[in-house]
Amino acid sequence: MSAQPLSSNDNDAPITPITPKEGAPASTRKLPPPEKPSDVRRRSHVILSFWLIVLILGLPIWWKTTTIYRADLPLQEMLEWADGKACRPVFPLRISIQATSLQDQEAQNLLRLTQHALDDLNDFAGHHLRLQLGDEKLDSADNGSALIIRLTPGEGTTATLDPYEPILDITYPPNTIPSPTASSSPLATYIASQLRTTFAEEQATISYLLSTNSMPSEHRPLGLSPETTESLAKRTTRSLKYAPTYHLTFSLFTSGPLPSSWNIEGAIDEYMKPVLEVLSPIHNFTIDTQVQLYASPGVQNQILNKEDLSSFINAAEWPLSPSIGGAPTINFIVFIGNQTIANPSQDSPTSQSWLIPQWGTVYLLSLPDDTTHVAAATLKQPLLTFTSHLLSLTGTPESGSLPLRLSTLARIRSADLLLRASSTLGSLARLAMALPSISIPSSVADGVTKTMSHLRLACDNLGGTEGLAHARIAEAEAERAFFEKSMVGQLYFPDEHKIAVYLPLLGPVAVPLVMGLINEIKAWRKRRRERAEKGAEKKEQ
């Protein structure tokens, strides 16, 4: 479209007359008179003025606007992270032994022996239990130990986990205290095996996590039985992806007009809040509730079979929003009705609730027909079920006391986030290397730098809450850098297509420019030759 006026500038080419119609044969065609030197110079200036703009402004602009910006990425370091070379995920767990009834010397000796026994048992370098002598006054939070072993003399050798504190109470017959010279002691072995049992699940989970990621084999623990792997895999698929905040939606669905209200707030405060509070260092929770009347389930059978459960939720009609805001939603549904779930394998009483992996829980609650208000006490059983399902939806281990399970959850989650961030970094590095034409904006480079510094901090503090916080930031940054929108714009744009972009506009513009330049250069060379010939003639004369 721009060819029109441009070519009109070629008007300064000499205008030559058409031979008169009645005119002479072509051989005697009248030649135009020679151009004046001033016209020639002017034409060169015109052509020069166009080419100067093209060369001085056009080319630099072309270079600047079409080169793909590729920020420098520390590719080598990123790959090291992904391969696990940059960080050995080590969880040094400190375990305090409080043995007030023992002499200092005896306690030291017991500790040394137990540590030996532990080291013998342990086959996984990443998960290391380190014993230390604890002080009575300090509790676990202060000295950073994961577990306290409280040794008290008693009748026989027993071990019990305190349900509220991370404390393992061990009683021992006084005569089992090892002598200072003994190289082994049944008590030490007992303590070591107890510890190992307590942390077995955490160890298995972490080694499972490491094995599913691309960690080098020397860090990988051996000896995970297939059954363990399978159950861990099941649990991992069941739990939601880690998010700093979860949104909990409590819904009351009823097929008729009643009940129309429920004291869910009181019930949550009473039965669920305590667990939410202990989970608060790891997750935040937001809560909303709803009541839906005349909600018919997807399956009307009196007894629900296993196959019915998947279609019970009437997704088309029940207002269960997928996700509110950025946080993933966990749904807890209380359905008022007297349907029951068939339990084919066991002869235990029919169950009333089921867990939907990564989604939530449904609880069937049967009430008298004329109930208008569901009291908090009635909701006790549903909420306790929800609470335990919440723990498994967040990926909390199943064995051990609650405090231990939670601290284990924190460690598992940090390891998980660390691994995920590292593998995202690796993918980004491989992407950047595989596609030389992909643009890498500086925001991506920033994200990578941030990710790596937080990963380093997380790696140094694995096992603590700080580590979790850093791993969380690292993972978020890595995801943001990897999914940067502006990177993919050029991805499917092969170089041949650029011709199709440039040619339609620049082609017509370039034709008069190039032709003008060529003509001008030809004319200049001709003039020079003529001048040289003239000079030669003069010399001859």
Which of 281/508 has CB closer to another protein? 508
In the complex with another protein, the residue whose CB is nearer, 153 or 441, is 441
Residue type for 404, please?
L
Q: How far is the CB of 73 from another protein (least distance, A)?
A: 20
Q: Which is nearer to another protein, 14 or 319 (CB)?
A: 14
Cβ 14 to another protein shortest distance, Å:
7
Residues 98/148, Cβ–Cβ less than 8 Å: yes
Rg of the chain (C-alpha set): 40
Measured between alpha carbons, how far is 127 from 224 in angstroms, rounded to an integer?
14
Q: Are 484 and 441 in contact (CB under 8 A)?
A: yes
Q: CB-based burial of residue 7 (10 Å sphere; 0-12 exposed, 13-18 middle, 19+ buried)? A: middle
User: Measured from the CB of residue 47, what is the shortest distance to another protein in angstroms?
Assistant: 8
What phi and psi values does residue 325 have, to the nearest 5 degrees?
65, -150
Considering the complex, what minimum distance in angstroms separates the CB of residue 235 from another protein? Answer: 45
* Min CB(436)–another protein separation in Å: 16
Q: Which is nearer to another protein, 45 or 527 (CB)?
A: 45
Q: Which is nearer to another protein, 51 or 359 (CB)?
A: 51
- The single residue listed with the structure tokens 């034709």 is 511
Residue (294 or 493) nearer to another protein, CB: 493
Instruction: Tell the smallest beta-carbon distance from residue 340 to another protein (Å).
Output: 58
Cβ distance to another protein smaller for residue 49 or 245: 49
Q: How far apart are CA 294 and CA 337, in angstroms?
A: 12
Asked whether the beta carbons of 517 and 46 are under 8 A apart, the reply is no
Cβ burial of 396 (10 Å; 0-12, 13-18, 19+) is: buried
In the complex with another protein, the residue whose CB is nearer, 14 or 180, is: 14
Q: Give the footprint of another protein on this chain (CB under 8 A).
A: 1-2, 4-5, 8-18, 20, 33, 42, 45-46, 49-50, 52-54, 57-58, 61-62, 65-66, 439, 489-490, 493, 501, 505-506, 509
Could you tell me if 2 and 511 are in contact, meaning their C-beta atoms sit under 8 angstroms apart? no
Please provide residue 501's backbone torsions phi and psi, each rounded to the nearest 5 degrees. -80, -45
**CB 441, min distance to another protein, A:** 12
H or E element, residue 387: helix 380-393
User: What separation in angstroms does the CA of 26 have from each of 18, 19, 23, 33?
Assistant: 11, 9, 9, 17
Strand partners, 340: 303
Min CB(524)–another protein separation in Å? 17
In angstroms, how far is the first alpha carbon of the chain from the final one? Answer: 56
